[in-house]
Amino acid sequence: MSVGCGALRKSSLVAGCLFLALPPNLAPISLAQNAGAKPSAETTAAARNLMVERVMRWKRAGRPDLAIQVWQQVLVSDPNNVESLVGMART
């Protein structure tokens, strides 16, 4: 029993050290502080571009079902996005 407890203690110690080693912008406290802040237009555009790239990869991989799911995620963040509506229709 003591061997199991020692392993648990060691793994929790390692997890705690890894958590403390995170950069401040990744810690949950800073996320809670920024929860009310809206993302900038540049951040939103960059995220949308990454999602469009993901759609293209899914389409090339022959997975239109997953491409449609990504288009739906874009629509959740921006319901008036014409590009995602057209892309979903084409897919």
Considering the domain architecture, whether residues 75 and 52 belong to the same structural domain is answered as yes
For 80-89, the pLDDT digits (tens) are 888 888 888 8
Q: What is the pTM of this model?
A: 0.52
d(CA 2, CA 88): 57
Considering the domain architecture, whether residues 42 and 27 belong to the same structural domain is answered as no
Residue 6: which domain range? 1-36
Considering the domain architecture, whether residues 7 and 27 belong to the same structural domain is answered as yes
> What tokens appear for 18 in the block?
């890894």
Average pLDDT estimate for 19-23? 57
Number of domains in the chain: 2
Phi-psi region of 62 (alpha: psi -120 to 50; beta: other; left: phi over 0): left
Nearest residue to 90 via CA among 62, 59, 61? 59
Considering the domain architecture, whether residues 55 and 87 belong to the same structural domain is answered as yes
